[in-house]
Structure 1
Amino acid sequence: MPKTLNSLMQHLRTSGIAISGSTQKRKLKNLGYYHGYKGYRFVGKAENRLALSDFSQITALNDFDMQLKTLLYPRMMLVETALKNYTLEAVLADSKSESFETIWSRSLTGYRGYASSSRDYSKAWGNRQRLRQEIDGIIYRNHNNRDVIRHFRDADTGIPIWAIFEVMTLGNFGAFYDCLDMRVKSSIVHDVGMPTNLDSAALLKHIIYALKDLRNAIAHNGVVLDVRFKTGHINTGLTALIKQEMGIGKVDFSDITDYVLLLVYLMRKMRFTKTECRQLINGYQAILERFRNELPFDIYSKFIKTSARSKLDEARQFVSLER
């Protein structure tokens, strides 16, 4: 039987979490079953239970999470748009055309960089075919409800690449980038200003997929506080990149601070102003300070590592020095 609000309050009390009164009852109703009970009982995995003792701690964790998403979402949108624009410019220059069919044959040819008899060739060729299916799928799903696609459908003309980019998810975009010829990828990372002594073309792909997980969690109101949104292992090359470029060590993307650093890195590399970058850093630190005071330390420290403050100081220094 589904739990009524009263029975859920009783269940919380039975679980050792104090809750009472009309105010907390209304708060629980507004948060819902997942965010008001299930979502914040653990860190990362369900077995990592938190020693919660009062419903106010759950609401504080929810507020913490919501403030992070409010801070990060507009920056994610700006970075996503910028990444697409850098890529679009490089693709147009390489293919000399905005036609997807031309780009498909001239620029989405990364598989040719491998020996035709190799496993890598077969995998890259398969990824390219899968990308074609994805592109056809997003065009079909949007041909009625997005003007940017419907216009070209009604005109019975080919849909240009810039219009396709408008309806791509970040995951679709990551697959598109992965299939590009190495010369196009090299042009993109050179334009961004990523280092030449690392495999920046590959690292940018890993950055896109790391941010894709964060972006999806934010957009769908998933919990981001404990980075449970990660869908896979984060490439260790990103640790080396942040260490070399920002001078920040021990970045392993096991807490949300490291994703903030990654956003700051990309924003500054793509010439967002120093003020914009500092606003992200300072906004994040202000959120940390508020909830460090509102939550018991044994709960707060499960989410935010003690290295967060020093990492943010180093990020500020990077922003100040990066031209």
Structure 2
Amino acid sequence: MENSDRPFHTLEEQVNLLKGKGIIIQNEDYTKNELMKRGYYSLINGYKNLFLKKNEHGVVLIPHQYIIGIRFEDFVNLYEFDKKLRAILYNGLLSYEASLGAELAYRFSESFPENYSYLDINNFNHDEHNTVQVLKTTSSLANKIEQESRKRGNNAIKHYLNHHDCIPLWVLTEFMTFGDLNYFYLNCKEEIRQKISRDFTQRYKITYNLSQTNAIMPEIIEHINHMVNMFRNAVAHNEITYSKVIDRGPNMRSIKNVLGQSELPIQSQPGVFELIISLRLVLDRTEYVTMSDSIKKLLTNANNQFNSQINEKILKCMHFPDDYEYWI
């Protein structure tokens, strides 16, 4: 058997590799402990991009060269920064997930109160272009019921199957992923989508004590759902989040119009900043302020951990402007 081109390296060899790349090692015992705890690949390969030299076009130089003065601690601090960022976003994303699920359950059941109405393709908006997608949605819900009914122990779905005539949608939504909720919303009839968007508009007006505001249209909820779904998956799977960008992003202009901030410095391909700004429309004010304050505190702490050059890079990766505190 031939040797792998990615051979196993002992902790001592890993430390020497880092030294050979020009990374400053201040304490070898600390470095070995962190490498053992987090893994070389996750820590170094995962977060190296921020610390690599780039040309005038922002493209990483080949072969890789690290910025002079980069310490091993910088990798650990960035790893921890991203971990804390995911935790902050997770709480906000979960709040919106619960809210969207409650909205879908209420408005759909209001229009179609019959037992298992969510399994009837005729209760969704379908035509020759999206019939297959609607069938996938109803089939996914049926499969979810079957899977939960076969699990050991008690759960709400098994309870309703054994003691009631059907499983209400407001019970089933508790078992749906955000991806499930997203597709359910996409396939809802337009009148249901309109009711949901009006609910969010009214809630936004009340929670921010606004006399008037532009309507949060169904397409805006769709845009936000797309963004939330992408970040929700990243957060749930511990993917690198601070630099995540959605290549095929939603129409941010419509979100900017509802916020009434024409000068809002958002980019067409959403990152963390655009996600946070968008969540303002669908979270209660207290939830949004809690998330916003936590992000600000996280960035303030980062100022004490990284030099100014690295801090600027982190903000840029997150799409945060220099005056981000004014906007969020």
| TM over 0.5, shorter chain | yes
* Structure 2 match to 1:265: 281
Correspondences of 1:26-37 after superposition (within 5 Å): 26-37=33-44
Match of 2:315 among 304, 309, 313: 304
| Alpha-carbon distance between aligned partners in 1 of 2:19 and 2:86, rounded to the nearest angstrom | 29
Aligned Cα RMSD in Å? 2.9
Any idea what SS the aligned residue of 2:281 has?
helix
For 1:42, give the aligned amino acid.
N
Tell me which amino acid in the other structure corresponds to 1:32: G
Quickly say closer, same or farther: Cα 1:309–1:265, change in 2 above 3 A. Answer: farther
Radius of gyration: which is bigger?
Answer: 2
Deviation at residue 246 of structure 1 after TM alignment: 4.6
Superposition misfits of 4+ residues, deviation over 6 angstroms: 194-199
Q: Indicate how the Cα distance of structure 1 residues 242 and 183 shifts in structure 2: closer, same or farther if over 3 A, else same.
A: same
Contact 2:265 2:321 in 1 (8 A): no
- Give the structure with the larger helix fraction: 1
1:39 aligns with 2:39: no
What pairs with 1:150-229 in structure 2 (closer than 5 Å)? 150-155=158-163, 157-193=165-201, 200-227=217-244
Tell me which residue corresponds to 1:94.
Answer: 111
1:196 and 1:277 mapped to 2: Cα distance?
A: 18
Take 2:325 and 2:104, find their aligned partners in 1: how far apart are those partners?
A: 29
Q: Which residue of the other structure, out of 122, 132, 135, is the alignment partner of 2:128?
A: 122
- Counterpart amino acid of residue 326 in structure 2: D
Deviation by residue 1:94-131 (Cα, 9 ceiling, x = unmatched): 1124x33x2344874212xxxxxxxxx32221210111
Given residue 190 of structure 2, which amino acid in structure 1 is its aligned partner? M
- Aligned residue for 2:238, secondary structure, equals coil
Structure 1 gap ranges (5+): 112-120, 316-323
> 1:239 maps to what in 2?
253
C-alpha distance in 2 between matches for 1:137 and 1:103: 13
Q: Retained in 2: the 8 A contact 1:108–1:179?
A: no
Residue 249 (structure 1) aligns with: 264
Q: C-alpha deviations, 1:269-322, integer Å up to 9, x for none?
A: xxx2x444322222211211221332233333233138535343134xxxxxxx
Counterpart Cα distance in 2 of 1:94 and 1:106: 14
- Partner of 1:41: helix, strand, or coil? helix
Shift of 1:150: 2.3
* Distance change in 2, residues 1:12/1:152 (3 Å): same
CA distance in structure 2 between the aligned counterparts of 1:179 and 1:110, rounded to whole angstroms: 6
2:28 to 11, 14, 21: 21
**CA drift at 1:240:** 2.7
Q: Does the CA-based 8 Å contact 1:64-1:287 persist in structure 2? A: yes
| Length, aligned pairs only | 295
What residue ranges of structure 2 are gaps of 5+ in the alignment?
1-6, 53-58, 203-211
Matches within 5 A, 1:94-113: 94-97=111-114, 99-100=115-116, 102-105=117-120, 108-111=123-126
Question: Deviation string for 1:53-98 (max 9, x for gaps)?
Answer: 211110110121112122222222111101111121111111124x
Contact 2:120–2:138 (Cα < 8 Å) also in 1: no
Using the size of structure 2 for normalisation, the TM-score is 0.79
The question of 1:292 aligning with 2:309 is answered no
Q: Give the TM-score taking structure 1 as reference length.
A: 0.81
Query: Which residue of the partner structure matches residue 58 of structure 1?
Result: 75
Aligned-residue offset at 1:24: 2.0
1:118 alignment counterpart: none
Residue identity in the other structure for 2:43? G
CA contact 1:264–1:280 (8 Å) conserved in 2: no
* Distance (whole Å) between structure 1 residues aligned to residue 136 and residue 16 of structure 2: 50
